[in-house]
Amino acid sequence: MTSTSSFTEKSGGSKAPFLPLFRFTLRQNWTMLLLFAIILFFVLPVPVMMVCSDQHGYLNPDVNDPDSIVRSLNFASTFVEWGEIMRYLLVPGMSVLAVIMSCVMFKYLKNKVSVDYFHSLPVTRGRLYINQLIVGYILLLVPFLVMLLATVLVMAFNGVFGIDADITSQIFGKLGYMLQDTILYMTLFYGLGTLIGMVSGLTAVHLTLACAAVFILPLIYAVSFWFLDIFNENMWLGWYLYRNVMTFLSPAMRFVMQEGAALSVPECFLYILTSAGLFVGGYFLYTHRKSERAGMSVVYTPLGGVIRYLLIFPGTLCGGLLFYLIMDDFFWTIFGMACGCLLTSMITNTILHKTAKAMFKGWKGLCIYAGVIAVFMAAMMTNLFGVNDYVPSPGMTSKVEVVFEDNTTLFTFDGQEEIQALYEICTADDPVLADDYVYRYTYYNSIDVSVVFYPKVGLPIAKSVTIRDPGALKEQFDVLYSSDSFKEQYMEMLDAFGDIYSEKKFMLSIDMLKLGVDKDGVVFGSSSSLDDCTPDEHNEGLLNAIKADMADMDSNYFSRQTIGFVRLDYTEQINPILDSYYTYVPIFSHMKNTSDYMMEHGFITTPLEHYIDLFASCVTKVTVSKASTEAEGLAAQKTFTSQKDLGAIVSSIACFSDGYSFDCNLTLSENEYLVEVEYSYVNNYSQYAASTSKNPSDFMTHRSNCTVFLLGQIPQCVLDAFE
């Protein structure tokens, strides 16, 4: 039906006031309000009503029945988890709806007839922009708030909040975080969608560019460093792709990589300011947008070229990376880059120009781009400027951060001696070995060191190196291990466990030689039986014993035989870069306090100081292989069987165990020899104990274990044999 009065007549003059325009826009889009309300109705109140209806008996506990009270508490606590789950669902869901709403509210800009009509109204563009913005935001916010309130009323009506005050406060805390994060993310994505809507002239392009804008910066950043990692073997890629770095590049990456963690107060202010900036930017673009360009893919022509190459660049690198991962060859890498470049260019041109006939448009610029990429590739392949292996000199470095292996805390050093030592470690040459020896050599005799150098001027440089001959760098490692800073930070790592030990049950796990019997019937090894101490008491007591033994830590502390380890599991990350929640503390035979505590509380059946001799009595044969740089990999192998030689060798190896290598990551060892130890002992103690004969030979298990010699402790019998 044709309207009998125009909008101008309804608004009462040539200059329309705000409220009539607002009411007019709201009436136009009320169906969106209804649609969002229906969606949120089935997301928020309905599941809660279903759960409360199904478990109504748990909401009315019998105060005289302890089991009934426990069931009610457990049931009420599920709503705490529900609040967290809802935040995981609502934040991305409402963010997507916010982008869709920006398309709906400014859909008239995509059609020439509609844009001419709206811009012919007696309303300034600024007022029209603000009106559309506010109406869209209300259509998003009101259904969410109403359905959230309805959900709270459902829980209150069913008595969820009357079960336990502490659980109730937790539920409201989760609901508060849900409300905060949902509104902030929704506002941010609404602003992003609005800004992009001012640039695009087609709804499909609007949505495509909004999706690209969310992920383009993290994508470019990630594939760039992945690509650089091809040319730089020592790049610590994990540090560059550390989630706290990635989260700054996109709110979506922040939500995903922080596992939905609630926004902090500074992040809230940052999101508010960013949203305001997006709305202001959208206002500026809207007021300068030409109406006749409605229907174009990108209404600001220069931006079309920028968008095109922003998509072509990651497409080029992704194509090269894909073929490199498949073929591991630079020729195929270049082929993949060319394919990725052409394919992305053709798809982008087709979208921007709305026809496949334009897929090869802009080929001259593409040739120039290809030339720049070719020069870059040549520079990287030849290490033209030394960037592939650049490490800032100690004099130009303010501090370094270090991770020894994967399961230690992040150590920080700012002393010149420590910085110099780490510089020499990262720039040391690897030993030359035959290919068939490299794997075993690296596995048993290497230390992984990841270092971040912070120059006094410039960006941090992250390197990760595998030291295949740590013994050659003993002087440098001694500087680190003997420093007060290392000792303080190592003890702080243990203290961090001690501070939170009561939050988990029995986080300590001990792995050593399992309880067994040697050939003479002597029982030794670790026992699974514990005394009457609670797990928490074991956590604290054993940790204090270990710390007491580590009080005299010096450069030689880790240069001992490892006979086991204690694993400490943390409730928080001790190394956020590597997402590490645990560490291994080595057990040495000289640790008297630890030995006494473990003996007293039934962890072990034999003092630690006797372990080496007992293990030596079980050894039947040792095969020592000497490394070589020749093609055969091993110059020679020698076998030892005499008890005297076996005792000398066992007392010099880095570690021993029952089928598992308990070598300490910080122990320095020799690089020339591999040692294979064969031994026999009663592995199944319960079977032996239940037997009537008590003859160890009837239950013997034969095993072998590979290890290396401690640095500077090659037995004389071995040296003589290879001479």
Taking only the tens place, the pLDDT of each residue in 485-510 is 998 888 888 777 644 333 333 333 44
The rounded distance, in Å, linking the Cα atoms of 516 and 531 is 20
Whether residue 413 contacts residue 419, with contact meaning beta carbons closer than 8 Å, is answered with: yes
pLDDT in tens, 376-400: 888 888 887 777 788 899 999 999 9
For residue 690, give Cα distances in angstroms to 398, 606, 627, 660, 683: 64, 21, 46, 27, 14
Whether residue 573 contacts residue 541, with contact meaning beta carbons closer than 8 Å, is answered with: no
- Print the SS3 string covering 133-177: HHHHHHHHHHHHHHHHHHHHHHHHHCCHHHCCHHHHHHHHHHHHH
Whether residue 361 contacts residue 353, with contact meaning beta carbons closer than 8 Å, is answered with: yes
The predicted pLDDT at position 295 comes to 81
The rounded distance, in Å, linking the Cα atoms of 336 and 323 is 5
End-to-end CA, the chain = 107
201 or 160, which is more confident: 201
The rounded distance, in Å, linking the Cα atoms of 533 and 374 is 68
Mean pLDDT confidence for 405-409: 68
The predicted pLDDT at position 666 comes to 80
With bands split at pLDDT 50, 70 and 90, how would you rate the model's confidence at 429? confident
Give the phi and the psi of residue 516 in degrees, each rounded to 5: -155, -175
- To the nearest whole percent, how much of the chain has pLDDT over 90? 25
- Which residues lie closer than 8 Å to 516 by C-beta, 6 or more apart? 523, 524, 525, 658, 681, 682, 683, 685
Average pLDDT in the chain: 80
659 or 308, which is more confident: 308
DSSP 299: S
Q: Which residue has the tokens 């000289």?
A: 590
Single pTM value for the model: 0.79
Has residue 529 got a pLDDT over 50? Answer: no
Give the phi and the psi of residue 397 in degrees, each rounded to 5: -110, 130
Secondary structure of residue 450 in the 3-state scheme:
strand
Mean pLDDT confidence for 552-557: 81
The predicted pLDDT at position 435 comes to 44
The predicted pLDDT at position 188 comes to 96
pLDDT in tens, 124-156: 888 899 999 999 999 999 999 999 999 999 888
With bands split at pLDDT 50, 70 and 90, how would you rate the model's confidence at 70? low
The rounded distance, in Å, linking the Cα atoms of 702 and 220 is 55
For residue 597, give Cα distances in angstroms to 285, 364, 533: 72, 77, 12
Among 229-238, 287-296, 421-430, 574-583, the least confident range: 574-583
Mean pLDDT confidence for 194-210: 90
Mean pLDDT confidence for 291-318: 88
DSSP 508: E
The predicted pLDDT at position 686 comes to 62
The predicted pLDDT at position 509 comes to 40
The predicted pLDDT at position 114 comes to 86
Among 254-258, 355-359, 657-661, the least confident range: 657-661
Helices and strands (H and E) in the chain: how many: 26, 13
Q: Which residue has the tokens 């030794």?
A: 524
Among residues 286, 276, 213, which one has the least CA distance to residue 250? 213
Among residues 241, 293, 287, 234, which one has the least CA distance to residue 112? 293
The predicted pLDDT at position 667 comes to 82
Among 30-39, 446-455, 704-713, the least confident range: 704-713
Among 182-191, 263-272, 425-434, the least confident range: 425-434
Spacing of C-alpha 170 from chain mean position: 27
DSSP assignment of 73-109 equals HHHHHHHHHHHHHHHHHHHHHHHHHHHHHHHHHTGGG
The rounded distance, in Å, linking the Cα atoms of 598 and 595 is 5
Has residue 586 got a pLDDT over 80? Answer: yes
- Which residues lie closer than 8 Å to 357 by C-beta, 6 or more apart? none
pLDDT in tens, 587-598: 888 889 988 888
The predicted pLDDT at position 620 comes to 83
With bands split at pLDDT 50, 70 and 90, how would you rate the model's confidence at 62? low
Long-range contacts of 287-293 (CB under 8 A, 24+ apart): 287/125, 287/126, 287/129, 289/109, 289/198, 291/112, 291/115, 291/116, 291/119, 292/112, 293/201
pLDDT in tens, 310-322: 999 999 999 999 9
Q: Which residue has the tokens 């020899």?
A: 673
Secondary structure of residue 429 in the 3-state scheme:
coil
